[in-house]
């Protein structure tokens, strides 16, 4: 990236020295860096035994995949609802390291589980 106007602004908490290094890489080396970073993320896959339901939730199924764990769960809507818990809903769960060094689960809502029966 030779033109400074073409260089995207890194995230606010991104290390300046790492941003400068990435900006100097060739396209090939950037692609290799992305592949390596994705492999590092996959290495942080969430062990299934660490995932626990929140109060009122029911975990129906957990399936480990490369880079994430698929969790199917039923959950309350937060109101006095006679139909609770609702779902089942599908989530992809990963372990995420924050800038302060702590790790937390990152839950991505995929949608309501679709029955495979006709």
Q: Give the C-alpha distances (Å, rounded to integers) separating 26 from 30, 31, 59.
A: 6, 9, 45
Domain range for 92 is 48-112
pLDDT at residue number 55: 87
Q: Locate tokens 């590092």: which residue?
A: 40
Q: Does 37 share its domain with 52?
A: no
Count how many Cα atoms sit within 13 Å of the Cα of residue 51 in the half-sphere of its side chain: 26
Check whether residue 53 and residue 108 sit in a common domain.
Answer: yes
Q: Indicate whether 62 and 107 sit together in one domain.
A: yes
Distances (CA, A) of 21 to 10, 17, 24, 41, 104: 12, 6, 5, 20, 28
Residue 118 domain-assigned (yes or no): no
> Is 70 a domain residue?
yes
Report how far residue 113's alpha carbon sits from residue 51's, in angstroms, rounded to the nearest whole number.
Answer: 19
From first to last of the 118 residues of the chain, give the pLDDT tens digit: 556 678 888 888 889 999 999 999 999 999 999 888 877 776 666 566 788 898 888 999 999 887 789 999 998 887 778 887 889 999 999 888 788 888 888 899 999 998 766 5
pTM passes above 0.95: no
Are 65 and 28 in a shared domain?
no
Measured distance CA(68)–CA(94) in Å, rounded: 5
- What's the pLDDT score for residue 89? 95
């Amino acid at each position: 990236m030779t033109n400074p106007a073409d260089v995207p602004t890194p995230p606010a908490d991104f290390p300046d020295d790492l941003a400068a290094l990435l900006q100097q890489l060739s396209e090939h080396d950037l692609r290799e860096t992305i592949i390596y970073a994705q492999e590092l993320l996959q290495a942080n896959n969430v062990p299934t035994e660490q995932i626990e339901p929140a109060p009122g939730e029911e975990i129906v199924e957990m399936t480990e995949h490369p880079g994430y764990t698929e969790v199917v769960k039923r959950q309350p809507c937060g109101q006095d609802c006679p139909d609770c818990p609702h779902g089942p809903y599908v989530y992809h769960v990963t372990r995420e390291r924050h800038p302060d060094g702590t790790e937390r689960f990152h839950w991505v809502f995929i949608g309501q589980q679709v029955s495979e029966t006709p």
